[in-house]
Amino acid sequence: MDSYQVQMERRYILRTQKKQVLALESEFRGPNRENVAMPKAPKGKSVGQEKKVIHPYSRKAAQITRKAHKQEKKEKLKNEKALRLNLIGEKLQWFQNHLDPRKVGYSKRDACELIERYLNRFSSELEQIELRNSFKDRQGRRHCSREAAIRQTLEREQRQYQAHGLEIPDILNADNLKTFREWDFDLKKLPNIKMRKVCASDAVPKKCKKKAVTTIDGDLGELELKDESSDTDEEMTAVA
């Protein structure tokens, strides 16, 4: 029994040693190549090929230039539209803040008075700029760009008001005035606000205008009659 047990132990030791040797050989050789997936080659162009350079006078270059100009023009129009909407929003906000809460509707004369106040909205700021620039200690004029922008805006608005009219919210109509009072300064709701042009001549009633025209025409008629009578007198004296 002792010899048999010794033989069995030797066989067991040999088997374990053989397994260890096979394991070491497999680790040394690496993983089985049959089970490893090879990476696929990229389709189309080769990996090492460089990007093709575009000739500056080619059709592709002209197409890219046109596309860039189109995008630039689109962005410019978008910015101009946003700026115009902001200016209109500030203008309407000023008129809404200066409305008389007791008035249900405005006459043309009342609208002209409100426009006169609107045209003088920068008076205090211009006075402050003039006061700061009047100090002898300061060299050169300060806030020149702001002052120039204000004066240019006021001149343009004054020309519009004196000529074909300045565009303001339609506060002459009661329904439009109510809608304008309920506006919450949202620029997307600007199409809901009705606008109209009011000029400086609207402050004078039409009856007064017609009367003034008739008096001028009457004066001209009297002058013509006087001239004719004087001519007839001269002719009579010449004949005599």
For residue range 87-144, what is the model confidence (pLDDT) as tens digits?
999 999 999 999 999 998 899 999 999 999 999 999 999 999 888 887 755 566 666 8
Asked whether 164 and 73 are in contact (CB, 8 A), the reply is no
Domain boundaries 78-202, corresponding CATH code: 1.20.1440.170
Per-residue confidence (pLDDT) for residue 28, from 0 to 100 = 61
- Per-residue confidence (pLDDT) for residue 73, from 0 to 100: 93
Q: What is the largest CA-CA distance in the chain?
A: 187
The phi-psi region of residue 99 (left if phi > 0; otherwise alpha if psi is between -120 and 50; otherwise beta) is beta
**Where exactly are the structural domains of the chain?**
78-202
Q: At what angle do helices 108-119 and 144-162 cross, to 10 degrees?
A: 160
pLDDT(233) > 90: no
The larger pLDDT score, comparing residue 16 to residue 71, is at: 71
| Torsion over CA: 9, 10, 12, 16 (sign) | positive
* Two structure tokens written together for 172: 């002459």
Average pLDDT value for residue range 142-161: 90
Instruction: Collect all residues with Cβ–Cβ distance below 8 Å to 87 and sequence separation of at least 6.
Output: none
30 or 61, which is more confident? 61
3 state SS of 167: strand
Q: What is the mean pLDDT of the chain?
A: 79
3-state secondary structure 11-79: HHHHHHHHHHHHHHHHHHHCCCCCCCCCCCCCCCCCCCCCCCCCCCCCHHHHHHHHHHHHHHHHHHHHH
